[in-house]
Amino acid sequence: MSQMISETPTTTVRTGSTHVRYKVLAMAVLLAGITYLDRVCISSTAPYMMRDLGLTPVQMSFVFSAFTLAYGIFEIPTGWWGDRVGTRRVLTRIVSWWSAFTIATGGVFNYASLLATRFLFGIGEAGAWPNVARTFSRWMPRSERGTAQGIFFMGAHLSGGLTPLLVTAVLGVMHWRAIFVLFGSVGSVWAVLWYRWFRDDPSVHPEVSERELTLIQQGRVIESGHGSGTPWKRLLANRHVAGLCLMYFTQTYGFYFYVTWLPTYLKSTSAFSPLMLGILSGMPLILSVLADLFGGLTTDRLTRRWGPRAGRAVVDGGSLFAAGVFMICGASAGVPLAAAILISLAGAASNFLLGAAWGTCIDMGGRHSGVLGGTMNTAGQVGGVLSPVVAALIVQRFSSWSGPLYVTGTLYLLGSLCWLWIDPRRHLGEE
């Protein structure tokens, strides 16, 4: 496929003012939405799959973990691949792969086939986030990168919040197997459109005007072309990268509590009606839609005014600090509804930082932003694997849900301290 449409400098006369970069952003938002559409779908169809395949809850939990494990293992290799060959080809491969295994999920016939399919699904989806960051590093001027990342995550969380409702509605008219085929087909269409229209470098895209190209290239630290060598030693020994990874570990650890144990926690604390339980379970992601957008806008505004150290570190550190305070207050609240609201605010606060965090990957990584984003996200997935297990062990040991909440809140506070030694101005190529 890569030989069918080559990226060569265009001879088109660049006139007028265009906003092609916003079309790239729109495609990325669609990617984010499709990602969560396919990822969250299995959570809503799980009861039907367990019934038809004869699975126990423990077996289904391993199915969920198989995705997270594969996703974490292949984040760095796929981010590195995007740095090497460009995100046009890599994102096409990612979406085509995961769409194929989303469709394949509809054809599983037992526990082993489901486990293998979801592991392969995780391999396919790994690297999507880092390669989007890499795309933004080449297509977005520095002043818009945080906003772009915020809007991107807004699309993901909005899709994640609406998918359960969509699946519930569709289950009324089709079998769960057909739903996976339908949702997988959506990603296949995106992959075709992306490969045909997108270009790795805006300078070779025929729709980009000289005015927009100049704006995009202002302050861009990556060179044209793709990286010929990744500074692994510098990357792994860099204290700023280490701080970034530790910070993201705490953020993702908390996020996975919301997508695994939050409904169980809410059900155990009070006799909420099914409607209220559904609303409260989805509230963290719904609030995160606004947090993603305004977090991105805030980090870019502060960066333009006071520089990247203040614009990134203040937003991220402040967000995690607020998340920790909300979570600990929620754990100690005596009224279940108040606790649920405080915990939801903690989730939104922790996601307020995403634009700044991934903007920092672009600022620091430059031409290596894909592999740096993959490194940070891998650290986050370690937290994602541990979070549900640690929570279950604490509840089993102490017969109380307060423990997992206090642990999560404390990790948020520790994550905020990481920003004391993270400097987005320290580009990897300069150290």
Lowest mean pLDDT of 28-32, 57-61, 226-230, name the range. Answer: 226-230
**Percent above pLDDT 70 for the chain:** 92
pLDDT higher than 50, residue 25: yes
Q: What is the pTM of this model?
A: 0.75
CATH number of 18-220: 1.20.1250.20
Beta strand segments in 162-320, E:
none
Q: What is the pLDDT of residue 225?
A: 45
Q: What is the pLDDT of residue 120?
A: 93
What b-and-e string marks burial along 281-295, b requiring 16 or more CB atoms within 10 Å of the CB?
bbbbbbbbbebbbeb
d(CA 395, CA 388): 11
Query: What is the CATH T-level fold of the domain 230-431, as seen in this structure?
Result: Growth Hormone; Chain: A; (1.20.1250)
Specify burial of residue 160 (Cβ count, 10 A radius: 0-12, 13-18, 19+). buried
Nearest Cα residue to 96 out of 72, 132, 120, 113: 120
The H or E element containing residue 200 is: none
Nearest Cα residue to 364 out of 315, 317, 412, 313: 313
Cβ-Cβ contacts under 8 Å for 337 (sequence gap 6 or more) = 270
Q: Where are the domains of the chain?
A: 18-220, 230-431
Instruction: Return the structure tokens found at 133.
Output: 């960051």
Residue given tokens 């494990």 in the structure block: 69
The confidence band for 268, taking pLDDT boundaries of 50, 70 and 90, is: confident
Whether 230-431 and 18-220 are alike in CATH topology: the answer is yes
The residue ranking higher by pLDDT, 365 or 349, is: 349
Q: Tens digit of pLDDT for each residue in 96-132?
A: 998 999 999 999 999 999 999 999 999 988 889 889 9
Lowest mean pLDDT of 91-95, 196-200, 211-215, name the range. Answer: 211-215
pLDDT higher than 80, residue 229: no
